[in-house]
Each structure stands twice: as structure tokens, then as C-alpha cells.
Structure 1
């Protein structure tokens, strides 16, 4: 199988793109601290489910506060019968958390520990290495701005330099790792892939679920409501749509600490009646076809899963040119890119797209075809399996592994 998960830059380190090089099934533990399901959590879900489907032994270890509701995160893992180990850890009880995780790793003895997020990188890579477990981390991109973010990122960079492999989900992140001192032979460019939802709701059904008007063009924004995601820029752009724009309605799907401030911004801008704040929507990709246009207005990104899910539904995209976004979105691939922090330019493109139904359809169709062909789960997961296989010794027969198949193949 040839895996094509985005075009690497010249000199980029990529795992082998052939079949699984490992001569026996692998044992892999994914370790994360899941919050409300966002891009990181969907990466863990997709990798775990599809790696298990390939015949490997996969466990997800989820660190969370006591009594945390992880139902949305756990649901697809449970449906796929992927084992989950929950570790309760509150506040800054770092040493206690480390001891519990280390105890589980000593018991399971996986071939690979794959961490996601700065906390897991900082606390658990070292103990795993001392147990002889190969360590891999995915750098998803930053979601922190201001405060202690620079300290966290500096500590994470030092920790990543000691991992056996680090996955960068975009070329800018790969370059950043290299400039921060992570060895080039340990950095692997694997842009995110996407896993289709079990079912997309059709346009009318999705709009009914979200309580959206059926007779308006719907402009959607999906993400965590934190400053780096730029929902404030999206709202500002909506206010600049001119009187000649077709009738429209905006929707913000997601939750987070900035929600109250953003709702107040909408009131201040006079668009509170034209924007729905839907809050968190379980498996939000299901409702993608409610939208006529999706807008990503982030200030920073890796390769956002939301973009892939939206384009996979055939919805055209206008997005800021940050991280790996231009490689995924740029015309004629399924959308348009604009500079970050430029609500005026964002509004101009939105208005142009809303006015041209044929262009929306062409870009949406092109994006859907390319997303399925280039960013599907099979090549994405195969690249990770191949990476794992380069990090550990093997001795048994290649025939014990199972080719990855999609549900349609079974």
C-alpha cells in the first residue's frame, strides 16, 4: 500500500510508506489527559481504533480528575472494544500520578508508549524509557497563549528531545522542533488523518438538531473557545459582511473559558440574533452538512482535525493560513486561505463565497475527494505503525499481522 498523507517538505523525515515493517503484532499504549473532545482526543481515538483494526494490541490510558465525565471520549473506543485504563489524578499530584502510570506500564510492558499533550510528555516519557519501552509523542500544536505557556512549551521541548520519536503534524511544527534542538532523525512528519463519523446527518436533519433556520446560508465555526482558536475574529468578520451578502446565519459549535466573553462580543457587535452558540455537540462532525461554509479563524494550528472532517463532508472551507492548514485547504483543494488576524479580508472572502453557489459546490466536491484520498485513516495509521516498527526489535513472523481495512471492506 502506498501511504500519501500530505506532501513532506524536502528533507522531511517520514516513516516508510510501504506496508507494516513489523514482523509481529505490536503492543501500543496511548497516554493522554482528555478534556472535552477536540482535535487531540480525536487523534487518539482514530489511532487507537484503526491500529487495533490492523491486528495490534492497543490500550488507551486516560488521566483525568476524579469523577470526570469522559463518556464522549470513551464511546468510540468502547464500540471498537479498545481497552481503556483510567488514572485519576487531581491538580498537581504529579509524583502520585507518575507512580500509578509507571505501575500500569510495568504490568503491561508495551512495545511503545505514545503520549499526547505536554503533561504526559513531561511526566511519563522518562519512566517508560527506563522500563525499556520505546517512546513516541505527537506534537499537536499549541493551545496556550500568555501566562505560563512559554514555560510549559520550553519544558515540553526539553522532554521531547529525549523521546525515541516525535510526530509533527505539520511542516511548521517539524521546523520548530528542529530549531529547538530535537534531533532530525527523531522527528517524523505525519499530518493528521481523519476518521469519518458513522453517519453524517443530512442538511435538514442537522439543522433541526441545531435549531438553525432552513432558509439561510449557514456559516459555521467549530472549536474550543480559547483565544488561540480565534472565534473573536470570526465574529468580527461576520459584522463586516455587507448589505449585498445573501441572507446568512452563523453558528459557533464548541465550549470553553471564553464563551461568556464571546457571547458578550456578539451582543456588543449587534449580531446576537444572527449567531447561535450551540455549545459542545457530541461527535460534531455528524452535523457538518448543516453548513454552507465552514470558517477556521485560528491564530495557530497544527493540522486541525476539524478541517479534515468538514472537508470530508463536502463542505467548502475558508481558513487562516497557519500551521499545516494551507497544505490541506488551499485552492483548488477545497477552500480558501486568508491571513490570520484579518477580519476584513476574512469577511471579503466569506461574502464572495456565499454569493457563488457553483463555486461552493466545486470546492466542496474537490475537498471531499482529496480528503478521502490523501488523509484517510488507512495511510495515516499505517505511517504510525511503520514508525513504531522502526523503534523496537522484532523476531516472529510477519504473517501474524492483519492488513488495515475500512468498514466497507468487511
Structure 2
């Protein structure tokens, strides 16, 4: 029997995304002699799974159907009894309800990560969602959050006790994301590229970004011929965004390539990074942009104001406000020097507060602490029985 503890990561779907990227990074980077890993997808996975380069990582798909799908709980229980992990680590609301199955499967340590709210409930006001989270808290040893905003919300609204909660910030490989090397872009060299990277879904509010780009062109007629927009990522609203751009008469100015694996190269082709979300945890895409020395224009939601130092590394604006977004972008388009200054400051901030090594160490420390706590508890219980 392998004495190295196994961590089972339970995720809705393993596909291109910020949460998924950082999950894979942690698996690949955590010392093999400390923890083994397996990934269990409630629904399925794509070729993105090939990014897992660590040897021996098992990948399972439960094929969950829409709705309650009670059979998925049973399937997970059976799988956990077979794998016998030391830790089950569930991610976000989509997987939070499976802690009882892990408990029944006698998994000693159970962890839930709050990396953002559900796309259909960006402000966390859904009563059923809040009730589900509250009911699940007793089944977990820790419910961490990846932003201070989400941590405060989980304690205040969900009722997670302080001794069961903590902040685990995201981290980025600054060596991978930088301004050196070739850039990937379909635009001319003199183009001013406003870009974003992320899944194309409601919570990212790309519709507001497109409207802001239209407003930007009206605001800056002298630069109109050079302004370009790049929206990189796949998702359920990709075709709707294409249609919106076409209807606005800017289809030839907007690049919508879908999901890409060469994000670092694509970011080198941007001049300004924009995050128009209506809800966020700690946005990994903004951190990648900062590592790439880009100024970041983001909305004042979730963990974005924690990441973007307003007026120093970028600009923070109200959500769902295309005019405010356009005005903030215009400052950088009109002043490349300011864009470079804020971009440099952003990279320095990232290296100090959001580095990859610190993130991996923090997760490993959490696992270590919880495993040791369970060992001590078992010793006490055994002593009392004797």
C-alpha cells in the first residue's frame, strides 16, 4: 500500500479556465513525495487534462446529468471507497454537496474551496445556494476562499467559523508570463489591442466590454483606426458575442479565437487588459496580465480591487458601466507611457504577493495541518476508549 497520502480533487468539469489552470499547476508542482493526486470530474473533461504532467495522476469522470442526479453521490462513494484518499478537496458550489459521500466513504479530511460564486448567482443572494453551503459546513474541516471578499462573505453570510476558514491567494508563474518572446496577434504592429482572457459566460459580462469598445472608438476618433479588441476564451456565449460585434459593425476589429493554449504569447500582443466581470474571486487572468506587465482595467467586484491597485497597477470601475470602462481604457490608449508605468508596477506587485511558489506552499501547508489535526484527534479518541 502506498504510504503517500492521496488527494482527490472533485471538480465539476476539467476544461480551460482559471480555477482549472491553477488546480493543474498545484498538482504538477507539489512535491511527489508529499502527496499523490487524482482528479474526479462530476461531468467530464477535455484535452485540457493533458496539461497534467505529473506521473500517476488518475482522472475519473462520473458523467453527472443535469439536476440532482442522486446516482452521482453513490458513484462517488464507490469510487472513494476504492481509491481510499486521505483528503477530498471539492471546488466551488458545484461540488460542495458531495462532502457527506466523502464522510460515508471514511475520507479523513474534507476541504472545500470557494474560488468564486456560481455564474447564475454572482452576488451570492440565491437562498437555495446559501442554504446548501450552510448545510455542508459541518461536513468540512476547512472552507477556504481565494479572496478576502469571498472569505468575509463566507463567514458573514454562510456562517463558516473562523477556525474552519482561511484565505489562500492565487499564484502565477511570473517567469512564464512576461513581455519577452514572440507575441501572437492577428493585428498590425501599430494596433492598440484591448484584450481579455476568460470563459465567455454571463459572469464575465463580455457584452459590456463590447459596448465599451464601441464607446471607446467614438470617444477617440483620432485613434479609431488603430483600436482593436481581443476576447480570448470559449464558452456558451461566444456566438452571442460574435453576433453583438457584427451587429455593432465592428466584427472585423474584434478577434474571438475561442480557447487557446498559447495565452502567454497572446498576452504579449495586448496593450491593455480588461476584466468586465460582474463577480470574481481572485482573477487568475488579471494576475497573468500583471505578470505580462499589462495595465489592468477591472470592475469593482469580488477580489478584483484586492488584485488591482487602483491608480497604481490599473484602474477599477463600476460593473456593467460601458462608459466608465471606455473612459478608463482611453486613459491608457492615449498615454502608452502611463500604460507601461502601471504595467511595470503590476508585475512588481504580482511577484511580491501572488507568486506561484507561495501558492503551492500554502495549499501544501493546509493539507499538512489538517492531516496532522486528524491524527491527533484519532489518538485522543483512541485513548479515551481505552
Report how far residue 260 of structure 1 moved: 2.2
Q: 1:161 to 1:345 in 2, by over 3 A?
A: farther
Q: Tell me which of the two structures has the higher relative contact order, counting C-alpha pairs closer than 8 angstroms and 6 or more residues apart.
A: 1
Alignment of 1:35-184 (within 5 A): 35-52=14-31, 55-63=33-41, 65=43, 68=44, 70-72=46-48, 74-77=49-52, 79-81=53-55, 83-92=57-66, 94-122=69-97, 124-130=98-104, 131-145=106-120, 151-179=128-156, 180-184=158-162
Report how far residue 224 of structure 1 moved: 1.4
Report how far residue 394 of structure 1 moved: 7.5
CA distance in 2 between partners of 1:389 and 1:27 (Å): 12
- Matched with 1:301 is 280
CA distance in 2 between partners of 1:213 and 1:299 (Å): 31
Structure 1: unaligned runs, 5 residues or longer: 1-23, 397-410
CA distance in 2 between partners of 1:380 and 1:245 (Å): 41
1:141 touches 1:301 (CA, 8 Å); kept in 2?
A: yes
CA distance in 1 between partners of 2:11 and 2:79 (Å): 14
1:322 touches 1:340 (CA, 8 Å); kept in 2?
A: yes
Report how far residue 69 of structure 1 moved: 5.1
1:264 equivalent in alignment to 2:239:
no
Give RMSD over aligned pairs: 2.7
- Matched with 1:329 is 308
Query: Given the alignment, which residue of 168, 175, 180 partners 1:190?
Result: 168
1:203 touches 1:290 (CA, 8 Å); kept in 2?
A: no
Structure 2: unaligned runs, 5 residues or longer: 376-386
- Matched with 1:18 is none
1:115 touches 1:136 (CA, 8 Å); kept in 2?
A: yes
Q: 1:101 to 1:112 in 2, by over 3 A?
A: same
Report how far residue 342 of structure 1 moved: 1.4
1:333 touches 1:370 (CA, 8 Å); kept in 2?
A: no
1:224 touches 1:256 (CA, 8 Å); kept in 2?
A: yes
SS at match of 2:24: helix
Report how far residue 283 of structure 1 moved: 4.8
2:212 touches 2:326 (CA, 8 Å); kept in 1?
A: yes
2:87 touches 2:107 (CA, 8 Å); kept in 1?
A: no
Q: Deviation per CA, 1:329-361, whole angstroms, max 9, x where unpaired?
A: 114552111111111111111011111111111
- Matched with 1:5 is none
SS at match of 1:232: helix
Report how far residue 297 of structure 1 moved: 0.4
Q: Could you state the TM-score of these two structures normalised by the residue count of structure 2?
A: 0.86
- Matched with 1:13 is none
Alignment of 1:226-241 (within 5 A): 226-241=201-216
Q: Deviation per CA, 1:101-126, whole angstroms, max 9, x where unpaired?
A: 2233223332221111323211x211
